[in-house]
Structure 1
Amino acid sequence: MRVVQHPSPNCGPRRNWQTPSVIVIHYTAMNSADAAIDRLCDPRTEVSAHYVIARTGIVTQLVPEEVRAWHAGAGEWRGQADVNSRSIGIELDNAGGHPFPEAQMHMLETLLGNILSRWPVSPEDVIGHSDMAPGRKCDPGPRFDWTRLARQGLAARTGGDTGSQDPTPGQFRSKARRAGYTADVDDDALLAAVRLRFRPYATGPLTAADVSALQHAIPAR
């Protein structure tokens, strides 16, 4: 796989000697990959990512994987707040409202496979920005094909027995926490984040299907 190198100054050492154990997928919310790369390399913005994947499938590396990029911001995953220090950030060239092209998805799958072979990251810890920052972030959004990644063992699977009774918010939160959703947010924001990932077009109040969607997202540890 060919990777274009375009170093960003917006990075630093990982804190507390942490190594990558999470991959966070974003979309750029900009008009082009070049515009996103320019922003992620501008020291005035104080933001970056390890990789940008253009709609054409071109992969650009901005920050070495062993270094801390500034992509995640405020949020939490599995009880850890400094997600930047233990994650690799991948930005997908997408303005937020259109599908992700085949060339881009293919290169994302290749890159994810390579990263998972280098670092102790489980498929259940390949997440979206919205997973670690419920209510604050919505990328990579409802049009991102998580099921495609899950079929190849590159992300958590979804689905399971829906059961016969609708859960309480407390039961849902307990299941979501076991799946990694530990950010301190209200019930509505938590439900929206889980649905965005596993049931992107679901609406209405909490149901048993929302709990069952998390069944395979809980790692066997």
Structure 2
Amino acid sequence: MTAAPDSPLATLWCPAANREPRRDGRVPDMLVLHYTGMESSDAALDWLTREESKVSCHYLVDEDGRIAQMVRESERAWHAGQSLWAGETDLNSCSLGIEIHNPGHEFGYRDFPEAQMRSVEALCLDILRRHPIRAERVVAHSDIAPGRKRDPGEKFDWARLAQAGVGLWVQPAPLGEDQGLGPGDEGQEVLKLQQDLAGLGYGVELTSTYGTGLEKVVEAFQRHFRQARIDGRADTSTRDTLSRLLTAMQATPVA
């Protein structure tokens, strides 16, 4: 295997042990963004390349903006774990994964530096030039594993990426004073919320009941698309933002 990375932006090729062929001949049509959740990028790079870690990713971007590639884009990396998006469960076979170094919520979650965000933006654009990835299929790890994962988190600048042409985004509807829908609520409004979240791609059961699972999905949605308040309640701001996103998604032409 040649040591040249797929992306000319990557300055380090550090092959991971955990990689394999994509199943069923899948080609990447999804991009998943993560944070490392470790105290240093060097430790993250070491862990992501070790066989015993049982994880891997295609790229790692450190806080200075340096990019390392660990798994070929043509190969299946082990980054998504137990996850679901748009009805699919084997997301490792259809996705590319980018780890962005940040200590995360466990070790002092902090803003993503400008140099890092500049490199993430450039890398995403470079990937999109090679792969037909629709805007709604550029997602957070928390989107595909609500309640289990929180990365890259509410400090990540999704709006910036969208302005550059990466991912789906609308201006979030302003916060209000209403409590909206929440745990224990039932009925047609809850069902409509579940249908809309599922329409965007989230794994949601259509039960008409606002249970813990739906609360976690709403939190994940807010962490990505309405970051001003993350409380798991579907207030008017949350539901309006979701409606705007669905409209924007439907208006996006299919490649």
Please give the TM-score of this superposition, normalised by the length of structure 1: 0.93
Structural mapping, 1:75-86, within 5 Å = 75-86=83-94
* TM-fit CA distance, 1:75: 1.0
Q: 1:187 to 1:56 in 2, by over 3 A?
A: same
Report if the CA contact (8 A) 1:156-1:216 is conserved: no
Contact 1:124 1:217 in 2 (8 A): no
> Which residue of the partner structure matches residue 38 of structure 2?
30
User: Which residue of 141, 147, 157 maps to 1:135?
Assistant: 147
The equivalent residue for 2:200 is 179
* Secondary structure of 1:186's aligned partner: helix
**Gapped regions of structure 1 (runs ≥ 5):** none
Does the CA-based 8 Å contact 2:77-2:92 persist in structure 1?
yes
* 1:133-172 equivalent positions in 2, closer than 5 A: 133-159=145-171, 168-172=189-193
String of CA shifts for 1:182-221, please: whole Å, max 9, x gaps.
Answer: 2557221111111111112324732222122123533336
Looking at structure 1, the residues matched to 162 and 243 of structure 2 have their Cα atoms a distance apart, in angstroms, of: 13
- 1:103-118 to 2 correspondence within 5 Å? 103-118=115-130
Q: 1:204 to 1:122 in 2, by over 3 A?
A: closer
1:60–1:23 Cα change, 3 Å? same
Contact kept? 2:170, 2:241, Cα under 8 Å: yes
Q: Label 1:5 to 1:216 Cα distance change in 2 as closer, same or farther (>3 A).
A: farther
Deviation for aligned residue 1:158: 2.2
- Structure 2: 5+ residue stretches without partners: 1-7, 182-188, 206-211
Moved over 4 A (4+): none
The whole-number CA distance in structure 1 between the counterparts of 2:172 and 2:222 is 15
Residue number in structure 1 paired with 2:224:
197
Contact 2:17 2:49 in 1 (8 A): yes
CA distance in structure 2 between the partners assigned to 1:131 and 1:116 by the alignment: 20
> d(CA) in 2 for partners of 1:45 and 1:57?
24
1: CA distance between counterparts of 2:162 and 2:31?
A: 14
CA deviation vs aligned residue, 1:109-158 (integer Å, no higher than 9, x gap)? 11100111101101221100000001110000111011111112201112
1-structure distance, mates of 2:244, 2:26: 26
CA RMSD, Structure 1 to Structure 2 (Å): 2.0
Tell me the equivalent position of 2:9.
2
Map of 1:119 onto structure 2: 131
CA contact 1:18–1:86 (8 Å) conserved in 2: yes
Residues matched between the structures, number: 220
- Asked whether the equivalents of residues 77 and 183 of structure 1 are also in contact (C-alpha less than 8 Å), the reply is no
